[in-house]
Structure 1
Amino acid sequence: MQEREKKIKELLQKAEEGVQGVFESESFQSYLKIMAKFHDYSARNVQLIISQKPDASYVAGYQKWKKELKRIVKKGEKGIAIVAYTPQTRYDEVPKLNEEGRPVLDADGKLVYTLKKTIKPAFSIKYVFDISQTEGEPLPTLPDRLEGTVENYGQILESVKSLSNFKIEFQKIEGNAMGLCDLEEKRIVIDRDMSELQSISVLIHEIAHERLHGIAGRETIDRQTREVEAEATAYVVCEYLGLDTSEVAFPYIASWSKEKDTKTLYQSLDRIQKNAHEMICNYEEYMKGQEKEQDTEKAPEQKKKVRKRQNEVER
């Protein structure tokens, strides 16, 4: 028990150091700088974008693509219309007032005038283009998929499934999501088109959501914290099982935290450690149960072999 606890603490320390390393890396800084160049669009404009181009992912204006992101809009591409806030500014000459609110006079007793800035709200139609409509320099990305097989994959998969009380399904998930945890329907869905290593990692991630973030938890814990906790738990459990997921886990956690330190991760360490400990213990108990069942199944056959040897000796 103490050895297991020590191991988990070491893994958490490794995770914290690994995420900090991602924060400080040049590639991650480049990623954040590029992501910061994309505007946040209003809910109304998001709906407008989706209605015109349902598969849109990153959008920006023509000049922003060209000057800042070093990409050009392909010839013949049709712009996506959005409603942009374009306030009109005007300056009017008005009498200058003193602190008491009285007009200011010059040496000749004449009124002194000043310019008053007035902003009139206004909206106009602007056009943006999705990244798929452009070509040029690639945008920096973070690794999001693990490749590789897992030794004894079937056995490990069944063992990990035992950690969940939800129905687990493997099916095609449209879009970028690799897995989902439906708390209302009590089911977990994992994208079927992934490597064995990625499948195990995502499954543990979703089970961590199930165990850590129930319906009540969704109302009290923000999404950023939930994702950091689930991925950190998945990393610890996978590492304990001898599966290295750090290549994706660390950037994933960093992309959710988006801070210069690991504050979000640090604040959640107790919850992560407790959940990882429980999952590892449950995993080991399941494995021991499987071994006992196998021994029980082998026992009658072993007895037959012993009797056969005894009979041969007696002859």
Structure 2
Amino acid sequence: MNPQPHHEWEEKLTELHEHLVSAVEALVTGDEWKRALEFVARFRSRSFNNTLLIWSQHDAAYRRGLVPDPVPSYVAGFKQWQTLGRHVVAGQKGYMIFAPVTARFASSSPSDPGSWRRLNPSERPRSGEVVRPRMIGVKPAYVWDVSQTDGQPLPDSSTPHLLKGEAPAGLWDGLASLVRGDGFSLSLAQDAQTLGGANGMTGFGLRAVTVRADMDAAARVKTLAHELAHIRMHEPNGEARSHRGTGEVEAESVALMIGAAHGMDTTAYTIPYVSTWAASVSGTTAVEVVQATGERVRRTAVAILDQLPTAQSGAGDTPGLDRSKPAQVIADTAPKPSTAQTAVQRGALTL
């Protein structure tokens, strides 16, 4: 591969990483966490990092009057829009995101992590070897919002809408089934005083979840989602258990995403400033904590949503577009590691 593209990748990846850090810093220093999570819920098929990049770049385009709406609805690549009978309007700049770079690896002993070897582009595996692709880095890619395109209309995609205080149909039963499926009992308490002032409580010792009964249906189901998030994320002796604030923000964030995916009014939900707990975790920066937490929240919420037999809003996939096989870049030579690629290798950047 021509070395020039790698040089261009390096510059663009550095720019992209700096853009991402700026977007995350806004969450650390401002009261943006709730609004960001509501947005992530609408684009939950994409990583937390890429969602933030789309959000911040679209916001900048809106402020410059380049797009009509403050929040993007559907995004796709240039050629992906063409497959849907649409084209990017001349002059519209795409939103830069991270795309995976993969290479092929082969092994005759797949269970042995040290046995895998990287194949050259034209190299065939030896007899009896298993071949698997592996992510080795990232490259910049571009997506455009539907408002930046023109052409054939997209298929209709219904979104649930609820009255304030109303619970989505079937959500309580679905969450309750998952709680019990994880080996916890579920009961209702008469009021907050019974729970020491809390709306809900998860006891890992007794394997029991309790939720206040004297709240409206939406608050009860949001609380149950919060407690299920504790079950899925905060087993005793885990890292989040030693940082109470982190655990509470994670659980409330998962509940917010689940509610937003069902059209629940989340305006009354309260999430503490991220900075108070992000800065309290030793050995890492507040930005890295927010990135890791955001991705943990997204994955937990997506896993729960996938198990619920309820009517939900779209996950951000453009109607009519199949993203089940996302495009990947196959590297024939190893590019020089960039700041972003190094972040991937140490687990600080998730796609």
Q: TM-score, normalised by structure 2?
A: 0.37
Q: TM-score, normalised by structure 1?
A: 0.41
Decide which structure has the larger Cα Rg and report it.
1
- Higher RCO (CA-CA < 8 Å; seq separation 6+): 2
